[in-house]
Amino acid sequence: MKKVDRRSFLRLGAVTGLAAGIPINATADGSSPPSASSQDSSRGVKNYVRLGRTELKVSDISFGSFPLRHGEEHVVHHAMDQGINYFDTAESYGDGTSETVMGRALKGKRDQVYVATKIGAGSRDSAASMMQRLDESLSRLQTDYVDIFFNHAVNDISRLKNEQWLEFADKARSQGKVRFFGMSGHGGYLTECVDYAVEQDMFDVLLLATNFGEDPAFFERFTRGFDFVANQQGLRASMAKAKQKDIGIVAMKVLRGAKLNDMRPYEQQGYTYSQAAFKWVLNIPQVDNLIVTMRNRDQIDEYLGASGAGEVSQADMGLLQQYAKMTDASYCRHVCNDCEGSCPFNVPIADVLRMRMYATDYGDFSIAKQEYAKLDANASPCLSCDGRPCKDACTYEIPIADLCGPTHTMLT
């Protein structure tokens, strides 16, 4: 399909009636989707929420900066102009580029926003090395402190058991460099890690991968139409335990792969799949707000159309259902990891497919390449493997061998 960005799509729809004319699944009950005016994004952020015990009041839809690059400071400024006040970055995003650009964009405006960044602190990292990395992040961000500092992409409890983290955290907090600490995760052991962190009361905020496709409640609504099951069955219960301790919960990976252009023909009058996906996540009682990668002004405007939105409508459900149908055969859930151990050559299948998602779905080819290069093991063995060992390893019948080999070729 020819790629159509949102602006082109809307223009095309206005001229040809394409958007309004296509019979959509968006209305499972036959009702019309909300009108464009009801999803009008021109008013920016419409809801600020309390992020648990941090007491920060953050925009319900907030800024993810994974692909932020030099010269894109204006994207941050537009987000601020629209009322977004929570900006998420990480040392690893573009090897520090995202933090650097964010720092430039926020110069002189730092006190108007909350900034969160992350390092992946390992099980053997010292407190001193963590402090050094925090200092480097602060320097790139041109600030003396961050509001939230995450241990990034935790998928192994041994990383949480590293007492050096606690020593580091105490020191960084007492020096005023960090206000609150958090943990982010999107791997197969997410639930176990969350449970451990909550039990130990280690963090004030959790940044968790979740979306309608990971939520058992979504599938309960479509038991006839779907024959696959949701994963992360335990995540809601873990979130509930976190909430009992008033830990803030930020959702990420909420677009379930972000194949947005595939959905354009099914969207009407600017009312979009993204907005439906955001509404789903923001309606999870334990979720406070969400972050999503924002690349440009149009995307920010589109996304903020769901800020302050109410309950998930039938029209929303139709779009989510359509998306699930279209992407199910190729969308790797990452957090399920059911295929782990199936490859005799130790190809990290979920990681490889996540890099593929960055390249082919998010369109962030250079980032995907960078991140792929950082993997301890990659998919090179797939090039000379007949694919039999992993053939039936995916619970969701994703053709692992068909995707991993070409991903290696594409990203090396």
Residue 320, both tokens: 């989510």
CB nearer to ligand SF4: pick between 29 and 376: 376
CA angle 156, 217, 208 (to 5 degrees): 30
**Count of residues touching ligand SF4 (by CB under 6 A):** 27
CB atoms within 10 A of CB 35: 12
Work out how close the CB of 212 gets to ligand SF4 at its nearest, in angstroms, rounded to a whole number: 16
230 near ligand SF4, judged by CB under 6 A: no
In the complex, the smallest distance separating the C-beta of residue 350 from ligand SF4, rounded to whole angstroms, is: 4
Q: Which listed residue (6, 400, 407, 411) binds ligand SF4 by CB under 6 A?
A: 400
* Per-residue mark of binding to ligand SF4, 135-154 (x: CB under 6 A): --------------------
Of positions 10, 75, 169, 401, contacts ligand SF4 by CB under 6 A: 401
Q: By CB under 6 A, is residue 389 in contact with ligand SF4?
A: yes
Smallest gap, in angstroms, from Cβ of residue 61 to ligand SF4? 27
> To the nearest whole angstrom, how small is the minimum distance from the Cβ of residue 408 to ligand SF4?
9
> CA 115, 84, 77 angle in degrees (round to 5)?
85
CB 354 within 8 A of CB 332: yes
The H-assigned helical ranges of 283-399 are 297-304, 314-327, 349-356, 365-374
- Identified binder of ligand SF4 from the candidate list 141, 153, 404, 411, rule CB under 6 A: 404
The number of CA neighbours under 13 Å toward the Cβ of 274 is: 28
How many CA atoms are closer than 13 Å to the CA of 232, on its beta-carbon side? 27
Q: Which is nearer to ligand SF4, 145 or 226 (CB)?
A: 226
3-class SS string, 149-174: EEECCCCCHHHHCCHHHHHHHHHHHH
Scanning 70-78, 173-181, 193-201, 390-398 for contacts with ligand SF4 by CB under 6 A, the matching segment is 390-398
Instruction: Spell out the residues 6+ positions from residue 238 whose beta carbon is closer than 8 angstroms to its own.
Output: 191, 194, 195, 198
Measured CA to CA, the distance from residue 313 to residue 278 in angstroms comes to 12
Per-residue binding string, ligand SF4, 302-341, x by CB under 6 A, is ------------------------------xxx-xxxx--
Q: Which is nearer to ligand SF4, 73 or 340 (CB)?
A: 340
Side chain identity, residue 153: A
Torsion angle (degrees, nearest 10) of CA 27, 396, 221, 29: 20
Question: Phi then psi for 257, rounded to 5 degrees?
Answer: 110, -15
Q: Are 164 and 196 in contact (CB under 8 A)?
A: no
Contact status, residue 302 vs residue 276, Cβ threshold 8 Å: no
- Tell me if 142 sits within 8 A of 103, measured CB to CB: yes
Segment interacting with ligand SF4, rule: CB under 6 A, options 11-19, 146-154, 161-169, 399-407 = 399-407
Going by C-alpha positions, the residue among 110, 120, 107, 122 that lies closest to residue 85 is 110
User: CA-to-CA distance for 330 and 399, rounded, in angstroms?
Assistant: 8
Q: How far is the CB of 233 from ligand SF4 (least distance, A)?
A: 14
Q: How far apart are CB 349 and ligand SF4 at their closest, in Å?
A: 5
Q: Shortest distance, CB of residue 1 to ligand SF4, whole angstroms?
A: 24
Helix (H) or strand (E) holding 183: strand 178-185
- Nearest CB to ligand SF4, comparing residues 263 and 379: 379
**14 or 229: CB nearest ligand SF4:** 229
Angle at 371 between CA 153 and CA 208, to 5 degrees: 25
CB of 328 to ligand SF4, least distance (A): 10
Nearer to ligand SF4, 19 or 400 (CB): 400
Q: What x-and-dash track marks residues 369-388 binding ligand SF4 by CB under 6 A?
A: ----------x-xx--x-x-
Distance between CA 123 and CA 115 in Å, rounded?
25
Q: Is 295 or 333 the residue whose CB approaches ligand SF4 more closely?
A: 333
**What mask, x for binding ligand SF4 by CB under 6 A, covers residues 338 to 367?**
xx---x-x-x-xx--x--------------
CB of 344 to ligand SF4, least distance (A): 6
Indicate whether 390 belongs to the interface with ligand SF4 (CB under 6 A).
yes
> What is the smallest separation between the CB atom of 362 and ligand SF4, expressed in angstroms?
17
The binding site for ligand SF4 (CB under 6 A) comprises 332-334, 336-339, 343, 345, 347, 349-350, 353, 379, 381-382, 385, 387, 389-390, 394-396, 398, 400-401, 404
